[in-house]
Amino acid sequence: MVKPRIVIYGTGRYGCDCVRMAQAKGWPVVAAFNRAGSKVGQDIGRLAGLDKDLGVIVENADIADYQAIEADIAIVTTSDRLSHNIEGYERLLTAGLNVLSHGTESYFPSAADPILAAKIQRWAEDANVTFTASGIWDMSRIWSGILCAAPCIGIRALHHASRTNLGMRKVHAELAGIGLSHKAFQATRVEQAGPIGELYKLVPWQVTAALGFEVVKVVERREAMLFDRPMYAAGLGRDIPAGEPAGLRVLVEVTTAQGVSAHAHIELGLSEKDQMDFMRWTVDGEPGSTVHVDREVGSVGSATSMINRVRDVINAPPGIQEVFRLGPAKHSAFDL
């Protein structure tokens, strides 16, 4: 098999994970971009923690020449919001590069922002390239939901539940508002979307649409997770007192034209020491069905999931191709 030539756009944690994984597979990393700062000017191999240079210097994304790049795909790992990523998408797609994004709104652009989705669709079609987002949600939240319904001949309702421990790293704890006062939590995580709000509603929305239902209404509600005892937040190095915000609970209701409803109950906060992250789909149908995914905290599974989608995206038709259109995610153990 021809080795895909990779571009990395956003050379942070996941961008660097992808560099190391591409290197392990012998896939050439041919260019790398980041916004201005200390990463620009460094060799991407060293920056990614390899013990050698790859001969590719991280370029300033705002002033680079994209037309000169000869590559098969660009992996974008900058942020979750379409509005933040859109400039990079335009640069890469109009230069004729397939784009595989890690941004969570990009899993389902037409639902997150129909206006920006239409632009992405036009750039991708004009250049005859594909736009897709993947990451850990691909298998754990999206394909697990689609496959859960596979044995059913009738469906009344879909239920998605998950628990993610965001207490281990400071940056994650802050995203979920762990340790904020009630007043600050209400203002910045409930009344405003904050850093995570309105992202997780895309999960039941996308799965319901992928199963063929016409989604007519989606409502996301957010509230603080509270415990009746102090909970230790390792990322903050302190206990969160009983009754204080210890995470964000996201509750989603999806209504369809066919009368089938979907519900999500998503906990993003502190967990007990021995509790593993999980994602679960249950179909209330004929017959009932459940798929349960356990996930180790700190796994690099989001970067590996992207790497495993590289060939699917390169081979997909032009335009936005959400992962539900690409078939179930597959391993790449033999792709060396």
Ligand X SMILES: NC(=O)c1ccc[n+]([C@@H]2O[C@H](COP(=O)([O-])OP(=O)(O)OC[C@H]3O[C@@H](n4cnc5c(N)ncnc54)[C@H](OP(=O)(O)O)[C@@H]3O)[C@@H](O)[C@H]2O)c1
Interaction site with ligand X (CB under 6 A):
10-15, 34-35, 37, 39, 61, 77-80, 84, 88, 102-104, 135-137, 302
Fill in the amino acid letter for 115: I
Give the residue with the Cβ less far from ligand X, 62 or 286: 62
Give me the least distance between CB of 137 and ligand X, in Å please.
4
287 prior amide bond cis, ω within 30: yes
Give the residue with the Cβ less far from ligand X, 196 or 260: 196
> How far is 4 from 253, CA to CA, in rounded Å?
40
| Position closest to ligand X via CB | 12
Give me the least distance between CB of 1 and ligand X, in Å please.
25
> How far is 246 from 165, CA to CA, in rounded Å?
10
Give me the least distance between CB of 214 and ligand X, in Å please.
26
Give me the least distance between CB of 229 and ligand X, in Å please.
29
Give the residue with the Cβ less far from ligand X, 105 or 220: 105
> How far is 279 from 266, CA to CA, in rounded Å?
9
Give the residue with the Cβ less far from ligand X, 124 or 329: 329
Give me the least distance between CB of 36 and ligand X, in Å please.
8
Other Cβ atoms closer than 10 A to 191:
11
| 3-state DSSP assignment of residue 311 | helix
Give the residue with the Cβ less far from ligand X, 100 or 260: 100
Give the residue with the Cβ less far from ligand X, 5 or 141: 141
Q: What is the DSSP letter of 33?
A: E
In 3D space, the residue among 70, 81, 52, 112 whose CA is nearest the CA of residue 175 turns out to be 81
Give me the least distance between CB of 85 and ligand X, in Å please.
7
Q: DSSP for 94-133?
A: HTT-EEEE--GGGGSHHHH-HHHHHHHHHHHHHHT-EEEE
> How far is 111 from 105, CA to CA, in rounded Å?
8
